[in-house]
A = this chain, B = another copy of it.
């Protein structure tokens, strides 16, 4: 059993101490050992530690404390640019400026990110995935000076934790696992799967704070409302095209 996997928690506030270079190198080396489509390594990792650049990135992550306090932001990008330039140098015609290869690059980037996070945790560091990356991928790309063929898919805040954090609850394992084929969810099964979370003290506190009758409505009305979701969907999709991943 891999301890780091079991003990992972998102860390939302960091001490200002920077990450020693040899530790960062082990983290990046761990990232590079992840599987990659065709061993083409269609991703890049931008490790941002300079204060002005972190200050430029923080508002793009809505100034969440993880982004404002972490001494390092690692931005994992789908990258077909490097491979395509190498092809051209060899007079081979690259054909990776399309959606399938955006997905392949995103896959490479995400598998590498998970290795990096686990390795960081093995060194006593904390991490927080910043899902906000999708909302401002184009703006982040401009801060990081990404060329066409390179687009952020995920950022990770990384540093030494300011304080310990509790393990996050999960739905019962059977909620996400299906055997042989997909078993659809009856209302009774959904009730059973969410029962514990809905009854928790944390949920009661959230309902009071938000003045809403149930947890689902906190998600659909406060956290991730339809209008925003659609707007960010269009924006990210447009950026995929703008950065040259939709020539099809």
| Among A115, A178, A187, A190, residue most surrounded by chain B Cβ atoms (within 10 Å) | A178
10 A-B pairs with least C-beta separation: A95-B226, A90-B216, A92-B216, A114-B114, A98-B233, A100-B233, A99-B233, A92-B220, A110-B110, A92-B217
Q: Of all chain B residues, which has the CB nearest A237? A: B99
Interface residues of A in 214-234 (CB under 8 A from B): 214-217, 219-221, 223-227, 229-230, 232-234
Residue of B nearest to A110 (CB): B110
Residue in B28, B180, B225 whose beta carbon sits within 8 Å of that of A53 in the complex: B180
Q: A95-B225, A110-B107, A216-B92 are known contacts. Are A1 and B122 too (CB-CB below 8 A)?
A: yes
A38 within 8 A of B: yes
Q: Decide: A1 and B26 in contact? CB cutoff 8 A.
A: yes
Q: In the bound complex, what is the Cα–Cα distance between A143 and B83 (angstroms)?
A: 34
B107 engages A41 (CB within 8 Å): no
Q: How far is the CA of A113 from the CA of B177 in the complex (A)?
A: 12
A60 at interface, CB cutoff 8 A: no
The digit string for A182-197, where 1 denotes a CB below 8 A from any CB of B, is 1011010011011000
Q: List 28 A-B contacts (CB under 8 A).
A: A1-B122, A5-B30, A5-B34, A5-B119, A28-B173, A28-B177, A32-B170, A40-B219, A45-B178, A46-B178, A48-B180, A50-B180, A82-B175, A82-B176, A85-B190, A86-B185, A86-B194, A90-B217, A91-B216, A94-B226, A96-B224, A99-B237, A107-B131, A107-B153, A110-B111, A114-B114, A144-B182, A147-B182
Tell me the bound Cα distance from A86 to B37 in angstroms.
Answer: 35
Report how far A233 CA is from B246 CA in the complex, Å. 9
Q: How far is the CB of A77 from chain B (nearest CB, A)?
A: 8
Provide the residues of chain B in CB contact with A70, threshold 8 Å: none
Q: A44-B177, A89-B191, A92-B217 are in contact. List 12 more A-B contacts (CB 8 A).
A: A2-B119, A5-B30, A28-B173, A38-B131, A38-B219, A90-B214, A90-B216, A91-B214, A99-B234, A101-B229, A110-B110, A111-B113
